[in-house]
């Protein structure tokens, strides 16, 4: 069958999900005919995705968040007004999507949390099976424990989920833990999509910390900690558009631009992984039995939900700042049992999502 992917490219998570599912589908003889991505000027599509997806890439103007002045988090109100004023641009993007659908005639569409895929279904309607994939959809599952308060944030998040997944044949809710499906909500609970490259790694525990930062402004906290702890080596990645070279800060801290292979090499060997609140890199680190600290991006409710959920699954701890001392102390006391359960969940159920999107199984 022919598959058309929509991929929301803010961060690396949805990109790695798409790569992983593309690997699984190609193993069964299916084809990815095209990939539609949001054209976000604040982010760069990393080479590991361009090289690995092996399909034509098409960029559309689509909603995205604006970063605050110091680069540490999201400016939510400014983001809302910015995207409202671009509605005409997004309507033009829907026409572009329609042209691509007619050009490639896919048998199935899979959406990795790109909102214009849901909007397209409202205005044009896919006449073929349409699946939505993401951990975001797990927030409506009874097993999810949402952060206390944040009522408006939760309602807005659920609305955005419904918009993104509008008209879905089924909603593939990625989860850290095995939970029952919710047919009444079209929710199918699936394990995280872990790439073959990660599954084939042999994890080690060398004496260094690995960090991945979505917003470059947060690097100051890591720099300050590294200065106070010169004996501790820190290898870090940042998603800073204008930084294409490796930068050293002192003798024990290095920042790299995003690189697929280098990231995997370091993730395989690190003792502790510190990141913001992305679901997929946390899943990869947990699969490799790493000690994990999460620091959700400011004003990013989705990442806060990810942190709460990883804590529920006992795979990570989280804080409001890069509390590296907490991560190091946690390493001394944590149990390996949650990671073992998580790895079994992934390894024994990785074909579940493939069975649904290849139409070999339907939600009941």
Look at the chain and report how many structural domains it folds into.
Answer: 2
Work out the percent of the chain whose per-residue pLDDT is above 90: 65
Mean pLDDT of the 169-180 span: 97
Residues 183, 227 share a domain: no
Residues 125, 33 share a domain: yes
pLDDT of residue 266: 95
What pTM value is reported for the model?
Answer: 0.90
pLDDT of residue 200: 94
Chain mean pLDDT for the chain: 90
Residues 269, 160 share a domain: no
Please give the residue range of the domain that contains residue 17.
2-191+348-357
Contact 166/122 with Cβ under 8 angstroms?
yes
Compute the C-alpha angle 147/150/153, nearest 5°. Answer: 110
Residue 363 placed within a domain: no
pLDDT of residue 106: 97
For 282-294, write each residue's pLDDT tens digit.
999 999 999 999 9
Q: Residue 71 — pLDDT band, cuts 50, 70, 90? A: low
**Residues facing residue 255 across a β-bridge:** 236, 247
State residue 238 phi and psi, 5-degree precision.
-135, 150
Whether 72 has a pLDDT exceeding 70, the answer reads no
For 194-222, write each residue's pLDDT tens digit.
999 999 999 999 999 999 886 666 788 88
Strand order in the sheet with 57-60: 57-60, 31-38, 2-7, 108-112, 130-134, 170-174, 187-190
Residue 304 placed within a domain: yes
Whether 305 has a pLDDT exceeding 90, the answer reads yes
Residues 125, 92 share a domain: yes
Task: Please tell me which residue, 92 or 86, carries the higher pLDDT value.
Answer: 92
Residues 184, 149 share a domain: yes
pLDDT of residue 77: 65
Give the HSE-up count for residue 40: Cα atoms under 13 Å, Cβ half-sphere.
Answer: 25
Residues 163, 15 share a domain: yes
Mean pLDDT of the 298-318 span: 93
State residue 23 phi and psi, 5-degree precision.
-60, -45
- d(C-alpha 125, C-alpha 98), whole Å: 10
Residues 204, 108 share a domain: no
């Amino acid at each position: 069958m022919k598959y058309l992917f929509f991929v929301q490219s803010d961060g690396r998570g949805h990109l790695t999900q798409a790569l992983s599912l593309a690997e699984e589908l190609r193993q069964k003889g299916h084809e990815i005919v095209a990939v539609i991505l949001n054209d976000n000027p604040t982010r760069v599509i990393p080479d590991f995705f361009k090289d690995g997806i092996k399909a034509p890439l098409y960029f559309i103007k689509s909603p995205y968040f604006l970063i605050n002045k110091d680069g540490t988090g999201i400016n939510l109100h400014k983001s809302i007004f910015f995207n409202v004023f671009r509605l005409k641009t997004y309507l033009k993007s829907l026409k572009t999507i329609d042209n691509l659908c007619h050009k490639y005639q896919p048998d199935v569409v899979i959406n990795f949390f790109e909102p214009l895929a849901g909007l397209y279904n409202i205005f044009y309607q896919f006449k073929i099976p349409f699946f939505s994939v993401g951990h975001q959809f797990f927030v409506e599952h009874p097993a999810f424990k949402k952060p206390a308060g944040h009522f408006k944030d939760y309602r807005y998040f659920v609305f955005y989920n419904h918009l993104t997944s509008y008209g879905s044949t089924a909603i593939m809710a990625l989860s850290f833990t095995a939970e029952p499906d919710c047919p009444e909500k079209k929710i199918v609970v699936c394990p995280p999509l872990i790439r073959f490259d990660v599954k084939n790694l042999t994890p080690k525990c060398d004496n260094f910390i690995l960090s991945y930062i979505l917003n470059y402004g947060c690097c100051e906290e890591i720099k300050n900690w590294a200065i106070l702890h010169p004996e501790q080596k820190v290898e870090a990645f940042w998603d800073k558009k204008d930084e294409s070279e490796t930068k050293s800060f002192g003798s024990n801290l290095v920042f790299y631009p995003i690189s697929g292979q280098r990231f995997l090499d370091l993730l395989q060997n690190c003792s502790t992984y510190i990141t913001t609140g992305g679901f997929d890199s946390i899943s990869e680190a947990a699969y490799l039995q790493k000690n994990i600290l999460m620091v959700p991006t400011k004003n990013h409710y989705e990442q806060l939900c990810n942190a709460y959920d990883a804590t529920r699954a006992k795979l990570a701890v989280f804080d409001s700042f890069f509390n590296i001392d907490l991560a190091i102390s946690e390493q001394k006391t944590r149990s390996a049992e949650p990671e073992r359960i998580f790895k079994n969940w992934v390894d024994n159920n990785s074909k579940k999502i493939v069975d649904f999107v290849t139409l070999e199984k339907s939600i009941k």
